[in-house]
Amino acid sequence: MSRQTAIAKLRAVLFQRRELIRSALRGDLHALRQLKNASGELADVALDSSDEEVSSQRAELESHELDAIDNALSRMNSGKFGNCEGCDKKIPLARLEILPFATLCIACQVKLENSGFADWTELTSSA
């Protein structure tokens, strides 16, 4: 399979994941409600007390993922998708298939994580 074909498939995966996250952020937490209904009375008390906290944390994580997906789709439209923001080399397809919104190759990702900075622009602006 060509890189271009693989990226087209990743685009479809990103669109699908984006729609799932948008549904969850709109409050469509059907799976959580099903779990709550099947858990019994004692578990309901525990779930009720933690529902709000879990929902808030989940919404924050999903919001970050949604931003990353939107960024990946934007990079696809501009032709920059699949190129590392750090070294401009092609990010291996195996990495993109696992993390389709990756913006850094593994070497640059490790460099970023070891630096203590939150993103690549902070790292490069401090140098």
pLDDT value at 31 more than 60: no
Q: Report the pLDDT averaged over residues 51-63.
A: 72
The angle at the Cα of 111, spanning 106 to 113, to the nearest 5 degrees, equals 90
Same domain flag for 51 and 110: no
Q: Report the range of poorest mean pLDDT among 5-19, 58-72, 78-92.
A: 58-72
* Percent of the chain residues past pLDDT 70, beyond the cut: 76
The Cα–Cα gap between 127 and 52 comes to 41
What is the residue range of 49's domain?
1-81
The Cα–Cα gap between 36 and 107 comes to 43
Q: pLDDT at position 49, please?
A: 55
Q: Could you please report the per-residue DSSP string of 54-104?
A: HHHHHHHHHHHHHHHHHHHHHHHHHT-TTB-TTT-PBPPHHHHHHSTT--S
Residues sharing a CB contact under 8 Å with residue 61, sequence separation 6 or more, in sequence order = none
Same domain flag for 58 and 94: no
Domain count, the chain: 2
pLDDT band of 39, cuts 50, 70, 90: very low
Same domain flag for 34 and 93: no
Same domain flag for 13 and 37: yes
Q: pLDDT at position 47, please?
A: 53
Same domain flag for 121 and 110: yes
Q: Taking a C-beta distance cutoff of 8 angstroms, is the pair 103, 118 a contact?
A: no
Read off the pTM. 0.71
